[in-house]
Structure formats: structure tokens, C-alpha cells
Amino acid sequence: MEALKQSNPGIVVVWKHKALVDDVYYSNMEVFERVFWTFGPCVEGFKHCMSVICIDGTHLYGKFKGTLLVATGVDANFQVFPLAFALVEGENISSWSWFLGCIRVHVTQRDGLCVISDRHAGIIAVMNDPNVGFTEPRAYHRFYVRHLASNLKTHVRRNDMRDMFKVAAYQRQERKLVADMSLIGQACTKAIQYIVQVPLPMWSLFHDVGRRYGICTTNFSETFNNVLKGARFLPIMSLVEFTFHRVNKYFTDRRELSQTRSEQGLAYSPKVTSIMEKNIAKARYHKVEAYNRRLHIYQVETKRGDRIGRKGGHRHTVNFQLRTCTCNKPRIFHLPCSHVLAVCVKYSISERPWVDRVLQSEAYANTYAPQFSQDRTILGATD
């Protein structure tokens, strides 16, 4: 039996109890089974984040057993964004289905979400269940590259195959991906047989078409697990309250930074600004030639200049109408590459349309603008 408890519009907790325990039915007693919780500011803030959700599970320690399921988003600064939590009996199809179902009901109804996870069988089954609400095109499932690479290493017992696979996964151009896959096949038949069993869009940046914003690692979920360090020893109510305080502090710190940048008129978050500056530095060594000024099509040739280890001599076509570059970086990362910026600099064109809305300072400020309420009576609630 499920019960929703909500002391104010800003906090949602869903309890799930059971009366059947070890095949024994208790008519006058309900036994705790699961609890899901999220906070209003997280729900509101996520509307301004990337359309990406990272999900992960971590075991509880000490006297209180179970598994803590955590869903996080990614903000405009490419930092983890806390979204929802659940305490369940373990990772299985039923618990993941319930958790993701609660997210659909209480957190977000956004379509086109990219859900990134490990290859847990329960998650895979739930993502393919139309009743939960995460099948395509409402959502797209992707795997953490590092998790796949680790599994590959275990499967073939070769560190070099793990590393070669990661290089292939991060390739943004098809010819380079094909070449890397060929090398893996020549080096280890068992490795390539393992890899081809996994659909390309699940791990290849080139085939992802930008749904994951270039996010391939487990760092985002692991980072927030570090934020919750120490919480896994706590009883249920203390765990919920602990997340309240930690997430509130997380919002407060980032609210000050994001609002300051917005007030200063800075267009992008610190991380995006850093990426743009590096790309602008590269653009200085590019040669731009107009192919069709009316259609805004340009060819950009890379030059090595004084950069050590850079070969140069590559040519890419930039189309401003379609917002594409043959390097594929704008499509994958939703940011202008150095080739685009070289054109922008030469012809005094704004790069702003190439920067995804959720990566700009306004979205960054709006993400952390919602305030947490001091009313926490929900933390003592029962159904």
C-alpha cells in the first residue's frame, strides 16, 4: 500500500507499506517497505537543467539495511543536481520500477529525457516497460562508459581492451570510431564480440546525437554520493532529514554563485566559460574560408601553430543555418567548437545561438533560485 504525505507544496514523501511478510498476512499491522522523497526546489530547478537524469544505487551500512536509490540531474555548470531519493529493499525490477514511476509522477513529465545508468538488469527492464513512462521517445537510455569499460576488462581480463574501448566510445567522428573498433577486433576477438552486443547509441558519443550532453562517466552520481557521505549509517527519518539539510546547503552555495554571475552580466557558467575560452584559443590557429556567405557555410582548416602535439591540416565544414560542424562537437556537447568560433571571430557573428539554453547563465541562476521552506514537519510523517 502506498501513501503520499505532503506537509506543504515544497516537499513530497511517498511511503510504501506491506501487510504480507514472509508469506504471513498481518491484518492489524503494516510493515515499512519503501520510501521515496523529493523537494520542491529540486523539482522546480530541474526544469532549467539539462534533460539528463543519472541514476544509481548504494547500499546502506550499519544497523539499518537496504539500498539508497538516487536520481541526479546536471546543471549549467556541468555539476551534479540533486533530484530524488528512495530507500528500498534492494536493486531489482520492482524497486527500480517504483522509483522511476515516482519520478514520473512527482518530479518531471519532460519528454526526451536521457537516463544514464549502469547495466543493472532491473534498470534495463524498467526502461523498456511502457507502463513506467521511460520508453522512447519519452526517454532514452544510455550507459556509463566507465562501467562498460570495467565490465569489458573483467570479461576479457585485459586492461588495454578497457582503455581502447573508452577511446572508441569518446570518438565524435564516424571514421575514427570505425578505425578504433577495427583495432579492437584485430587485437581481441572476445572483446569485440562483447562490445557489439551493446547497441551503439548506449555507449558511443557519435551515435548518441547529443542526448547525453557528452556525459559518459559515473562521476555525477558518485559526486553526490560523497555529498551524502555518512548518511548511509542513519535510520530512515534521520536519513531524510540529513538529505534536506545537505541539499538546502547545496542550493544556497550555488545560488550565490549563479546569481552573482547573472548580475555581472556574464553569459555562461564558469565551466562553460572555461570550455569556450579553450576553444577560442584553438580557433586562433584556424583558417576560415567562406563557401557560401548567403547560406552561411564555411570551411575551416586547422593549423598547428605553436601547440605541441597538434598535427593540424584537418578541414571541417560549418553550417550556421543548420548549426552543424563536421567535427560533430556542437551536436554532441551543445556548445560551439573551435571551428565555429573561428568563423564567429572572423565575421563578427555571435556564438550565443550555438550555446544550448540550459547552459547559459540565466538557466544557471533559475536552477538554484527556488527557496527551501523551514517547515520540515513532513520528516516525522506517517501515512
C-alpha to C-alpha distance for 183 and 89, rounded to whole angstroms: 43
What's the average pLDDT block by block, 10 residues per block, for the chain (383 residues)? 50 70 56 87 97 90 80 95 93 96 96 96 96 97 94 96 97 96 97 97 96 83 62 73 89 94 93 97 95 93 67 88 97 98 96 97 96 58 37
Please state the domain extents for the chain.
1-142+217-267, 145-214, 270-354
CATH of domain 1-142+217-267: 3.30.420
C-alpha to C-alpha distance for 147 and 57, rounded to whole angstroms: 14
pLDDT at 240: 84
DSSP string, 207-264: HHTTTTTT--SSHHHHHHHHHTTTGGGS-HHHHHHHHHHHHHHHHHHHHHHHHHHHHT
pLDDT at 382: 37
C-alpha to C-alpha distance for 135 and 116, rounded to whole angstroms: 13
**Residues 18, 33: contact at Cβ < 8 Å?**
yes
Joined grid coordinates for residue 288: 576560415
**Residues 203, 169: contact at Cβ < 8 Å?**
yes
**Residues 349, 293: contact at Cβ < 8 Å?**
no
C-alpha to C-alpha distance for 9 and 381, rounded to whole angstroms: 15
pLDDT at 33: 81
